[in-house]
Amino acid sequence: MEGFFAYRLHILSKEQEDIKKDYSNINNITYGLFSVGQWHDKVAAIINHQVRNFTMTKSQKKELQTEVEQVIVALINKAEALVNKPKKTVDGKIKKFVINTFVDTDKIKAQAPTFAKTIIAQVDNAANKKKMSKMAMGKFTEMERTGTIDSTLTAIEITTKGMYKKYHVTSTAELNQKFSTSLADIRKSTYGYCFGMLGCIVVVLSLWWAFRKRTELHTTLFVMSLLFAFILLAVGLTASMIEVDARIKSLDFMLLGEHVVFKDQVLFFQSKSIMDVVLVLIGQSAVDSILVGVLILVFSVLFPIMKLSSTGIHLLGNRRLAENKFIKYFAFQSGKWSMADVIVIAILMTYIGLNGLLESQLKSLHINSDFLTIITTNNTALQPGYIIFISFVLYGLTLSTILKFITPHDSH
């Protein structure tokens, strides 16, 4: 049962990490608030709605018609002034004579109300409104077609389509819904398996209490206890221990009298296990990072493994092997060099520090006004891997104490 719970917890922890990475990628601020494509869709919807649903009251039409009439009359006066301007060439004088003879500007001015009424009717025409909305989006679309933006949109489109195909969905809304459902189920299951593992440990310790006087069973119990410890260590090292998740939960502002809303814009996301941290540090080019990674690997991974192995060898081996200085050292004295308990405190302090820092920084982004509302959220949290690793540290100390009382050799 312990092995099954550990296996399922390890698999689900990895699955949860992958899903959250995909979620953070598809909802990253780069693909949302900072994406030209997202802005195009939202602005296009607003402009289409504003232009195509634009209506005027009778009084507005009357005022606008008067304005248009004045513009038409002004244009006619301007044209008449240009025509009557003294001409020096024969061609110019002939044109002036023809226009003055055959064109009656007063009659044209008298038709200005009719012209204005026709223009207003054309503006209010549904087909023309559609053309106007396309014209209004023309410059925005033209900007999208520049080289850099066009390549970015192509990359985003490829990533998005890949996500749709991977999760068998057809829209971002459907994808996010699937993410939420899957993560809720996984979270419930991981904590169930986590507490199942801890329940098995309680059972083992209860067996020690129940059979404390049955010395013939102590070796069997201790070997089984060591197997449990190895399982706890394996899961504690590989399962996610801490997640750092900062996002803009909602950004809402007014544009042309309508709301523009962006939701769940991920600013930063990282999920790490102890082994992930070690691999990242060792993979760096800086010597100090590599040194820290090696130290964590040696004192938080190799030392606990050597300690557990040595306790088993000390109990099961012959006297000569049990009294070996190397075996005795790792079985009884290496605990002071192990950094497993230090790692537990370090991760806790890291969580407290990061959580406080993110809360402070995100709080400064909070804005609540009539024109702009920004709500941020900090989802940084410790994960089941941290609980398992703490359990391993405490369980390891308990086994060390038990070994001192059951060992057949003079070891302490």
Q: How far apart are the first and last CA of the chain?
A: 34
CA distance linking residue 206 with residue 224, whole number of Å: 13
Residues in the chain predicted with pLDDT less than 70, given as ranges, are 34-56, 90, 92-93, 96-100, 102-103, 121-153, 255-258, 317-318, 321-323, 329-341, 407-412
SS3 (DSSP) at 375 = strand
H-helix or E-strand containing 377? strand 372-378
Torsion of CA 92, 94, 96, 102, to 10 degrees: -150
Strand partners, 104: none
CA distance linking residue 160 with residue 359, whole number of Å: 30
Q: Are 241 and 194 in contact (CB under 8 A)?
A: no
Contacts (Cβ under 8 Å, ≥6 apart) of 406:
215, 218, 219, 222, 315
Report field, pTM of the whole predicted structure over 0.75: no
Predicted confidence at residue 235, as pLDDT, reads 92
SS3 (DSSP) at 407 = coil
**Residue 255 DSSP class:** E
Predicted confidence at residue 412, as pLDDT, reads 45
Q: Is the dihedral of CA 212, 215, 216, 217 positive or negative?
A: positive
CA distance linking residue 251 with residue 260, whole number of Å: 8
CA distance linking residue 293 with residue 339, whole number of Å: 13
